[in-house]
Amino acid sequence: MIPRRLVYIIGMFVLTIAACSSSSEAEQSFSETPTAVSITSGTGNVTVTSTDSGAIVTAEISASGDAPVWSAEIVGGELVIDDGCGDRTDCSVNLTVEVAGTADVTIASAAGGITVVDMNSALAISGVASNVALNGITGPISVDLTSGDLLGARLVSTDASFHTGDGTVDVTLTETFGSLSVTSGSGNLTAQVPRGDYDIDASTGSGGVDIDSDVVHVDGSASSIVMRTDSGDVTLYRR
């Protein structure tokens, strides 16, 4: 039998931990339609989807210490969002942003998944440890990850750049483009592009390179493709 005093001590310990942990959800709506969105995320997932007008930001907050003070405000037409976690390791905020599909999107994430769907605008993403999923993006795209995998489908972009220091990249462009850059320090690279002529630079330090016969290399072509990885396979084929 466990002594009563020990039971009491264990019970108080559990209550203390529970008291120090918290979770909540908050939502903020805007009638004004922003022309751009800037998101700073310390730890947590970020999801951006399109809506007709205005904007809605939902935050799912978890913290083992004081709850972070997150913020969302429109400044000069730009919706600026900060999860409030910064460098803290004891909190996370999952952000869901619904905004007009024409708003340019900039996301900086330290850790967490990033999903962007059905946006017709410029997109710039930087992440330290983040997996990225893009679907239905029309506009210039720039993704730069220290580590993490990157998946992109139904992309229409005149200029698109995808880089991860450690991870795989798999992207599909559905229309002709000016330039496509897909690079990784370590990981397999896959790109699907329309049939056509391209100025192609594809290489790997350790692995294989496979290029579809319908994707033809022509020096000086108006459309260029760069695919490079230090370790991994490179696959380029017609969608």
* CB contact set of 45 (below 8 Å; sequence gap of 6+): 94, 95, 112, 113, 114, 115
Dump pLDDT digits (tens) for 149-201.
Answer: 999 999 999 999 999 999 999 999 999 999 999 999 999 999 999 999 999 99
Mean of the pLDDT values across residues 71-95? Answer: 95
From residue 207, alpha-carbon distances to 6, 150, 183, 221, 230 in Å are 60, 19, 14, 26, 9
Nearest to 186 by CA among 149, 237, 131: 149
Per-residue confidence (pLDDT) for residue 66, from 0 to 100: 87
**Full set of structural domains in the chain with CATH:** 23-130 (2.160.20.120), 132-239 (no CATH)
Cβ 221 vs Cβ 197: under 8 Å = yes
- CA–CA separation, 184 vs 95, rounded Å? 27
pLDDT level of residue 22 (50, 70, 90 thresholds): confident
Mean of the pLDDT values across residues 134-146? Answer: 98
Task: Identify any residues that bridge with 48 across adjacent strands, giving them in sequence order.
Answer: 97, 116
Mean pLDDT value across the chain: 92
Mean of the pLDDT values across residues 198-213? Answer: 98
Cα angle value 173/102/29 (rounded, 5°) = 130
Mean of the pLDDT values across residues 56-65? Answer: 94
Per-residue confidence (pLDDT) for residue 15, from 0 to 100: 37
Is residue 207 predicted with pLDDT exceeding 80? Answer: yes
Mean of the pLDDT values across residues 23-50? Answer: 96
Is residue 28 predicted with pLDDT exceeding 80? Answer: yes
Is residue 17 predicted with pLDDT exceeding 60? Answer: no
